[in-house]
Amino acid sequence: MTTWIRLATLLWSAALPPRSLIWSAALVFAAAWPLLANARNVPQWSVHEITLTAVESHKNPYTDVTVTATFNGPGGAVKTVKGFWDGGQAFKVRFTPDQIGAWTYSIAASPADAGLIASGTITATAPVAGNHGFL
């Protein structure tokens, strides 16, 4: 009986990858997660919304806080959009890509607030049927 247990244990451990390999893969995935989490596909001419949560309490967030997002797109395109207060500690930025391709963005606020700083990438894909742009 002990021989069978030893044989089963040996076969089981040989079938599994070494623990260092498992931990290495987990570490790589964990390090890449912020980049993966911030990557989004958005059809051209569709609205992409980014929600931010302020860390600081602002007396009147509607008038006292300015959130600005800069989007850098294909062919050197640069678009700057203002964010807005959405109640409580929430602020939003809405962006509609007008060109297909990768867009990187950075968001900052004045006065500075750690919760209102963000960056990431969106990829504008082919437009949804019927979306032809702005009037």
- All structural domains of the chain, each given as residue ranges with its CATH number in brackets, are 2-32 (no CATH), 39-125 (2.60.40.10)
| pLDDT-based confidence at residue 88 (cuts at 50, 70, 90) | very high
Q: Quick check: 81 and 71 in contact, CB under 8 A?
A: yes
pTM for the model stands at 0.70
Q: Quick check: 11 and 4 in contact, CB under 8 A?
A: no
Residue 90: pLDDT over 60: yes
| pLDDT-wise least confident of 6-15, 23-32, 98-107, 111-120 | 23-32
Distances (CA, A) of 38 to 55, 101, 108: 20, 16, 16
| pLDDT-based confidence at residue 39 (cuts at 50, 70, 90) | low
Q: How do strand 118-125 and strand 39-43 relate by DSSP bridges?
A: parallel
Q: Quick check: 116 and 35 in contact, CB under 8 A?
A: no
Angle at 37 between CA 115 and CA 131, to 5 degrees: 100
